[in-house]
Amino acid sequence: MTAFRPDVAVVDQTALAQEPLWLDQSILTLGCSIKFVAEGVSGNWQNDYARKVEDYAALAIGEYWIADYAGLGGVRHIGKPKQPTLSICTLVDGEYDQRGDFGELGHRSSGQGERVAGWLP
């Protein structure tokens, strides 16, 4: 597994006492300490849509959001035509179930779940 520095992480403060490196180095090693992770997609979008999905699931992080504000991801992930997309991945039985692909206007472009309106400026 690779070390990542997510753009956003929600940490369970009660679990920090179990983290062996937290006090000295501010490093989290236990997935139970991390409740939520969000990544803003950059030029290396493959990491956000593939590698991090696998690694965050292996850590049992309950939810992972991929904010592709520039529509950089592959067509397989964000559809065609490419557009800004918010993908919401929820951990189910050890794997992420991608329930949300929200297009530019905040309307669901695929999958099921709730609608997110106006998430883009």
Within a domain: residue 1? Answer: no
Instruction: Name the residue with tokens 């779940």.
Output: 113
Q: What is the pLDDT of residue 114?
A: 39
Within a domain: residue 119? Answer: no
Within a domain: residue 61? Answer: yes
pLDDT in tens, 44-89: 898 898 899 999 999 999 999 999 988 888 887 777 888 888 889 9
Within a domain: residue 71? Answer: yes
How is the chain split among helix, strand and coil, in percent rounded to 5?
25, 30, 45
AA identity, residue 115: R
At 66 the three-state DSSP class reads strand
Domain count within the chain: 1
What secondary structure letter does DSSP report for 52? H
Within a domain: residue 34? Answer: yes
Joined tokens for residue 52 = 């991090």
Within a domain: residue 115? Answer: no
pTM over 0.95: no
Within a domain: residue 3? Answer: no
Domain limits at 67? 8-110
Mean pLDDT, rounded, of the chain:
80
